[in-house]
Amino acid sequence: MGLSNEIKVGILVLLFSMGFAFLILTFGEVPLFRPPVKTYKVYFDNVAGLGVGAEVRVAGIKSGRVRSLSLKEGRVEVLFELDRDVALYRDAQAEIGTLGLMGDKYLNLYPGSPQSGLLEEGGTVQKSLGYADTDRLVKEMTNASESMKLMVESFQLILSENREDIRKVVQNLEALSHNLNLIALENRETLRNTLNNINLLAYTLNKVLPQTVESMDRLAKNLDRLAVENRQDIRETVTNLRELSQELKTTLPELSKNLKELSQNLNILLVENRQDIRSTTGNLSELTKHLKEGTERLNRIMAHIERGEGTLGKLIKDEELYKNISSGTRVLVRAGEVAEKTSLHVGFRGELYRGGDSKGVLTVRLQPDGEKYYFLEVVGDSRGRVYKEEVLPNQWLVRREFKPELTLQYARVFPFFSGTELVLRGGLKESTGGVGADLILSERLTMTSDFWDFGRRDRPQDRDLKPNLQVSVNYRLRGPIYAKFGGDDLLNSRLMGVFGGVGLMFTDNDLKYLLGGFRFSLP
């Protein structure tokens, strides 16, 4: 008796939920095993909200946690633990950082230089730096606000003392506005044409303005970050503004007098040059007329092209171009026939490594025939991807980013002894160069080896590391379910370990069967 549609749907939902669970595991640790740790101490006058269990980062990389906090002789003793493979030196430094503006606190360590010697286990980090305190930042911003308030009050006092001069400036501006109104009445038609051109300009700006707003948004974010990073400079700027307001208090009367004289001169200039302004508006009208004629000529050229006249028109209407397109279509049809013969394998698996680390892998394999195939994997690694960044000349910072890694390889299949097959692969392996070999012993059992990461960019803090060699056994348990286990990093004795995992691998026939069991009602 066949399975019902409800049971098929339930099985498919369960399988995809397992796949998503494996991918989610790639962005965090699986706390089944904890690596060995060692403890150190550091003293602060104020821990600013640091709590037990908070993260401990060495050069920005998560490497441990805070074990306990206690008061010792008026200072706070912070006892913390680090992974045993992380080295601290005697000139190491410690500070308390914040994740974001209002985020959690964490203990940040600068490991120091190897020349000063290793810091023994249980030792004390001698130098502790300051900490990021949000309350102190708010207080500084409040002081800046008070300074701005004093500056505004100074401006109001200056304006009240020079009220009569400002009133005379406004009267001159009213006379200037009256003269401009007369000019506008005498040149109404010209101004109408100018407004039409301005409307055209506004239409163009409407198209490009969203991109400009996006650029301004990025600029605002950069300015916000700049303000946080240059807090001291902003405080000095506020002080300078306060000094400037005092200087303006003495110089504004003279400035008001100059503005009054300027408005009178502008008024006289407009009256004396009214004819020249009228000529200028006439020239703008003539320029608009020429632009209109140019647009009409362009429309006539496009009409000739549509009728197939001229060199460009003949090129567009050429029958040979149609033949070339037909030939290209036939090539695409043949490519579709090849794609129909290609078999597709899709699957996903999860792997567990030493120290509680894990990987989630999404696999796609395209096999056009029995002699070759193309292999694609998207890998999520809880250990992340480590790289070095130069922040200052000859000063490097180790960073870790959690992004999917890509495996893209070309594989050739060769007959081996007694019905077995040997597969040789090459290309990208987890976003680095790599090669691999598979020995297919039967439909259920396959031995696999991979050799990659020749530069060992995943551990830049360690020197003289050999490439990563991984050997494993794949065994298909039942249907699409298979298990994988083996050894990892076999060429480096202190990194060597075992791993294991399970996964699902569907063929294109499996996918057709699963999808064929669904019934979709159309509206």
Instruction: Identify residue 63 by its one-letter amino acid code.
Output: S
Whether 369 is covered by a domain: the verdict is: yes
Under DSSP, the state recorded for 414 is E
Same domain, 111 and 191: no
Same domain, 383 and 511: yes
Q: Are 59 and 110 in contact (CB under 8 A)?
A: yes
Same domain, 123 and 145: no
- Is the pLDDT confidence value at 26 over 60? no
Same domain, 242 and 256: yes
Per residue in 131-144, pLDDT (tens digit) is 655 556 656 777 77
CB hemisphere CA count around 498 (13 angstroms):
6
Same domain, 360 and 240: no
Same domain, 355 and 504: yes
**Final residue of a structural domain among 132, 148, 169:** 132
- At 472, list the tokens: 């494993």
**Final residue of a structural domain among 272, 288, 303:** 272
- Is the pLDDT confidence value at 30 over 80? no
Under DSSP, the state recorded for 47 is -
* pTM for the full predicted model: 0.38
Instruction: Identify residue 389 by its one-letter amino acid code.
Output: E
Measured at the CA of 355, the angle between CA 351 and CA 359, to 5 degrees, comes to 25
- Is the pLDDT confidence value at 130 over 80? no
CB hemisphere CA count around 175 (13 angstroms):
16
Whether 320 is covered by a domain: the verdict is: no
Same domain, 183 and 243: yes
> Which pLDDT value is given to residue 158?
80
- CA nearest 44: which of 112, 134, 107, 122? 107
Q: How many domains does the chain have?
A: 3
**Final residue of a structural domain among 115, 132, 149:** 132
- Who contacts 522 (Cβ-Cβ below 8 Å, separation ≥6)? none
Q: Domain span at residue 235?
A: 136-272
Helix, strand, coil proportions of the chain in percent (round to 5)? 45, 30, 20
CATH of the domain at 392: 2.40.160
Look at 103-117, 338-352, 414-428, 471-485 and tell me which has the smallest mean pLDDT.
Answer: 338-352
Exposed (0-12), middle (13-18) or buried (19+): which is 247, by Cβ within 10 Å?
exposed
- CA nearest 499: which of 378, 349, 362? 349
Cross-strand pairs, 42: 78, 125
The C-alpha atoms of residue 238 and residue 144 are separated, in whole angstroms, by 7
Same domain, 357 and 461: yes
Whether 494 is covered by a domain: the verdict is: yes
- At 454, list the tokens: 């020749």
Cross-strand pairs, 500: 352, 485
- Who contacts 59 (Cβ-Cβ below 8 Å, separation ≥6)? 109, 110, 111, 397, 398
Which range has the top average pLDDT, 8-12, 212-216, 404-408, 511-515? 404-408
- Is the pLDDT confidence value at 323 over 80? no
Whether 326 is covered by a domain: the verdict is: no
Whether 25 is covered by a domain: the verdict is: no
Burial 441-451 (b: 16+ CB within 10 A, else e): eeeeebebbbb
Same domain, 153 and 127: no
Angle between helices 163-186 and 274-306 in degrees, nearest 10: 50
